[in-house]
Amino acid sequence: MPILVMKFGGTSVGSLDRIHRAAKRIGREVANGYDVIVIVSAMSGETNKLVGYVEETSPLFDAREYDAVVSSGENVTAGLMALTLQEMDVPARSWQGWQVPVRTTSAHASARIEEIPSDNILAKFSEGMRVAVVAGFQGISPEGRITTLGRGGSDTTAVAFAAAFEAERCDIYTDVDGVYTTDPRITAKARKLDRIAFEEMLELASLGAKVLQTRSVELAMRYNVKLRVLSSFEEPSDEAGTLVCAEEDIVESNVVAGVAYSREEAKLTLTHVEDRPGIAAAIFGPLADAGVNVDMIVQNISDAGTTDMTFSCPVNEVKRAEKALAAAREANEIGFAELIADTEVAKVSIVGIGMRSHAGVAAKMFKTLRDEGINIKVITTSEIKVSVLIDRKYMELAVQALHDAFELDKAA
């Protein structure tokens, strides 16, 4: 039988009633002739609660034990979903990551999937099982320890299973009915996209859009997985959701596809850094070793042999960054006068494959922000995106203004 992968996010399985609703959708696909692999997240709020327990217990926690704790939320959901399906007379069983096994790297809290052998689950399908309910977000390291894939990792799990099992498609069920031009909670003019290119979705996901995890889009693009984003709270139809697909499958698109934002950003500046060959490596090497996810980087013009180095990172990684840089200075690997942290900034970005062939997009963005009295602190660009760092208090105003300026409420 053909295989279908269905992934249900935390809000879609946030209560027993919602689990039952999701199970009915799964049952319909089984009735349509599919063997189904269901990937589940933890019930909404559960992962945050577990993370809170870990951080309260040990602020600089052992990532291996962090994984052991936070992965338990998905195990609960998988078991409850399998029980619900069994009560509906659908042959189903639950699988934890190590049982499949989902083999990953040893990078705890941010592991990458290396292999998903299909033998175990296919053997059960051949014996009459119709649904394999797999706990998302987790796997097993070469050392035999539980690993997790980072927040939103259940999306990556789903796409990886779709690729490994050559599934007909991968449906991602969430609390929104597709991918929007921006967050509808910020602007009522946000428009649902029928289709979006892999590259655009990848940029939006990496820049703060929370519909799909970045690595899930990378995998879908690499293995050409047919990926749909749908609402678990709307009736199914052929037109539902947003299809994430190759650029050539989109006939027409706007120059800018969407506006993304990331609220929890921080800007760190090292002042009077010695300006010499290798200084960037000396700064960002320790940050990488400490697991700090550096994004935007700006180096000022050298003055009297010194320079200022500015970079951004998630606000919850500031303490790790400060500790790593202090250690590097104590070891005489780098020298700087002061480390200044600004934890009240946000990143706002515009994304679109049409930017490749249209001039003036960045200028229009900067003019729009100027007209709203919003000062830009840092700028970075790529072929299909422009990102700026601004004061967090202006984030929603910036998103709304840019959405209006590029007329994203109108289809191409």
Neighbour tally for 300: CB within 10 Å: 14
Judge contact between 364 and 405, C-beta under 8 A: yes
> Which residues fall in the annotated binding site?
7-10, 47, 74, 174-175, 180, 185, 210-211
> Which residues fall in the annotated binding site for substrate?
47, 74
* Per-residue model confidence (pLDDT) at position 154: 94
Residue 208 has pLDDT above 70, yes or no: no
Give the tens place of pLDDT for each residue, 88-106.
999 999 999 999 999 999 9
Residue 222 has pLDDT above 70, yes or no: yes
Interatomic CA distance for residues 118 and 100, integer angstroms: 8
402 to 348, 390, 397: CA distances (angstroms): 9, 14, 9
Give the tens place of pLDDT for each residue, 50-88.
999 999 999 889 999 999 999 999 999 999 999 999 999
Higher pLDDT, 133 or 203: 133
Interatomic CA distance for residues 330 and 20, integer angstroms: 57
DSSP H or E run through 28: helix 16-31
Interatomic CA distance for residues 334 and 282, integer angstroms: 6
> Which residues fall in the annotated binding site for ATP?
7-10, 174-175, 180, 185, 210-211
Judge contact between 189 and 335, C-beta under 8 A: no
Domains of the chain listed by start with CATH number:
3-175 (3.40.1160.10)
Residue 215 has pLDDT above 80, yes or no: yes
User: How does the average pLDDT of the chain come out, rounded?
Assistant: 93
Q: How confident is the model at residue 320 (pLDDT cuts 50, 70, 90)?
A: very high
Average pLDDT on 3-32 reads: 96
Judge contact between 119 and 95, C-beta under 8 A: no
Give the tens place of pLDDT for each residue, 147-203.
999 888 999 999 999 999 999 999 999 888 889 999 988 999 999 998 999 999 988
Interatomic CA distance for residues 284 and 288, integer angstroms: 6
